[in-house]
Amino acid sequence: MRTQMSSSYDSRRHSRGKAQAGSARWFRRYRWLVIAGWLALLAVVAWTLVMPAAPRPVVTGAAGQAAAAASANAKAGNLLPVMLPADDAVHDKLTEWWYYSGHLQTNSGEKYSFHLASFLRRGTLTHTVFHGSLLDHQTEKRYTEQARTAGNPADGRRDGFNFSFGNWQLQGNSERHLAKMAGKDFSLDLQFVDKNPPVLHQAPGTPIAGLLDFAAAGKSYYTSRPRMSVQGTLTLHGEQKAVLGEVWFDHQWGDFEAAKLRWNWFALQLSDGADIMIFELFDRQGKPVQRMGTYTRNGTISALGDGDIGLSSSGRWKSPASGVSYPLDWTLSIPSKGVQLQVDPVIRASEFDARTTTLNVYWEGAIKLSGSHSGVGFMELSGYEATKEARKEPPAAKDKRK
């Protein structure tokens, strides 16, 4: 039996040796065909990874007709119309952010303002950043928090967004949102509800509502919910307070390079119920790129072009931390809407030092309105640390305040 097993083993080994030799000869003869086949397979895999995402589902009825019309009017680039709530979700774009800025009040009348934001940046390395600030209007003390993580901590839902990282959470779906964060000095636990339709910002004459062209810097989709109701709790130095208020929410996404731009941005909530968004963009050399805005009242949205807007500043504040000088004390006019406003910061020292997360600094803070209307709002001045001034420095005598 052992001899039979040994003979059988030797026979199998001899047969296997012949087969291996034959395989080697076959590979040497046809190796170029094998290599070509592998290269073709790799090409197919690479194409699958980089090919554009599948188009969005077709929507029938009036919504479908509106989407089709917007798509038909789109210029080159197969730019899609905004579709909500689907476009509340995370996009596969270079730059994207979700931004809350608002005003809060306690039962005893104490006033606070805050901003919370999540920035998603894709590129060689994808990363997500969280920024938050709180201003105590009673003491004029300002607190900031920030965090950064590699990758995308959103959970992948298709009809909204949910970012959760450490002590930060931003979540939204259509008209209902929530925000939670906890830092060293303050924490927020807020719920937002919007009873108004969202605003799709659009420059006059452009074909797609919600799409903005930043010239060489790229294109951006931009939607807002300008007057969301908010309630929740604010904790400052361990003392928890119930708060109510109103919040402006922004969502922007696109293949645009924010680092190539400098901007002045205003979000205004007027006492008569009107909401105004104004921004002006400059390139890194200080050359104007775009000025536009949106005026919304009683559900009617009016696009504002450069010729509709008067905007100038008369004072400055220089940050002792970064040395950057920011234009303040603005005058805004929209003659067609009967708007003539003085726009002043609640406090001048409102720089957000984000050099440890987004590698920049910017001015972000609450503003107060006077003139033809009263009201509140937020202002952002970004890109000043890396550009030449697009505006002439006003005389130093005009800015005596600190």
pLDDT digits (tens, 9 = 90+) for 86-122: 999 888 888 899 999 999 999 999 999 999 999 999 8
Q: What's the pLDDT score for residue 25?
A: 55
Mean pLDDT over residues 222-229, rounded? Answer: 97
Please name the residues in contact with 185: beta carbons below 8 A apart, sequence gap of 6 or more.
134, 143, 145, 236, 237
Does some domain include residue 106? yes
Nearby residues of 121 by Cβ (< 8 Å), 6 or more positions away: 94, 95, 96, 127, 128, 129
Number of domains making up the chain: 1
Give tens-digit pLDDT for 7-26.
Answer: 343 444 444 444 444 555 54
Question: At residue 180, does pLDDT exceed 50?
Answer: yes
- Residue 293's pLDDT is 96
DSSP string spanning 329-363?
EEEEEEGGGTEEEEEEES-S--EEEETTTTSEEEE
| Residue 66 is assigned to a structural domain of this protein | no
Instruction: Note the Cα 170 to chain centre separation in Å.
Output: 12
Q: How many other C-beta atoms can be found within 10 angstroms of the C-beta atom of residue 24? A: 10
Q: What pLDDT, on the 0 to 100 scale, is given for residue 44? A: 34
Establish if 60 belongs to a structural domain: no
In a domain, residue 58? The reply is no
| CA 217 – CA 255 distance, rounded (Å) | 9
Provide, rounded to the nearest whole percent, the portion of the chain with pLDDT above 70.
Answer: 77
CA–CA dist 391, 402 (Å, integer)? 21
Q: Which residue do the tokens 């003659």 mark?
A: 335
CATH code assigned at 307: 2.40.370.10
The answer to whether the pTM exceeds 0.85 is no
Residue 378: other Cβ atoms inside 10 A: 26
Q: Helices (DSSP H) in 146-235: which residue ranges?
A: none
Confidence of residue 374 (pLDDT cuts 50, 70, 90): very high
Q: Is there a domain that residue 124 lies in?
A: yes
- pLDDT-derived band at 30 (thresholds 50, 70, 90) equals low
| Tokens (6 digits) for 384 | 């000043």
Asked whether residue 382 carries a pLDDT value surpassing 90, the answer given is yes
Residue 342: inside a domain, yes or no?
A: yes
Q: Is the pLDDT of residue 73 over 50?
A: no
DSSP state of 395: P
**Of 145, 140, 143, residue with least CA distance to 111:** 140
Average pLDDT, the chain: 81
Measure CA of the first residue to CA of the last residue in the chain; give whole Å: 103
Residue 21 domain-assigned (yes or no) = no
Q: How many CB atoms lie within 10 A of CB 194?
A: 19
Domain span at residue 144 reads 83-398
Percent of the chain residues topping a pLDDT of 90? 56
Whether residue 7 lies inside any domain: the answer is: no
